[in-house]
Amino acid sequence: MNTKNSAKLSSYTIVDFPTKAQLNLFLKYMEQRNNDMLVIQEMKEAGLIKRVVSQIWNATNAYRIGITYEYKDEESFAKFQLILKEFMEISETKELLVGAKISSSRGIVLFENNF
């Protein structure tokens, strides 16, 4: 059951990199942005509730990460898509994603559990 502060929408993005070195460079770049309080504040103001970046370890012969986003509501999702579009247009982002395969899925949160 959703509570007052829980997400209504979520999305999950998988990024496959051509090399481990490229994956590591991208993770370092993401970590730097994650430590930038202006970036974090912009995401909060858009209504992003949570973002999780994980390295997928059970993929054979792949250099893969998964990024989960949780949004307050439909308006928050739309606002964050503008932020994400700007991020994808940054030259450093483009360079680090050359040759990477990106796929995203989006969903409506039906229920969640916090243990």
Q: State pTM to two decimals.
A: 0.88
Beta bridge partners of 14: 66, 103
CA 21 to chain centroid, in Å, comes to: 20
Q: How many CB atoms lie within 10 A of CB 66?
A: 14
pLDDT digits over 40-52, tens only? 999 999 999 999 9
pLDDT digits over 60-102, tens only? 889 999 999 999 999 999 999 999 999 999 999 999 999 999 9
Q: Which two tokens stand for residue 21?
A: 């070195």
Helix, strand, coil in percent for the chain, rounding step 5: 40, 30, 30
> Which is nearest to 72 in space by CA: 51, 52, 54?
51
> Which is nearest to 22 in space by CA: 110, 92, 70?
92
Work out the angle at residue 94's Cα, subtended by the Cα atoms of residues 79 and 18, and round it to the nearest 5 degrees: 120
Residue range 9-103 forms a domain whose CATH class is alpha beta
Q: Which two tokens stand for residue 108?
A: 């409506």
Contact assessment for residue 11 and residue 109, using Cβ atoms and an 8 Å cutoff: no
pLDDT digits over 5-55, tens only? 688 999 999 999 999 999 999 999 999 999 999 999 999 999 999 999 999
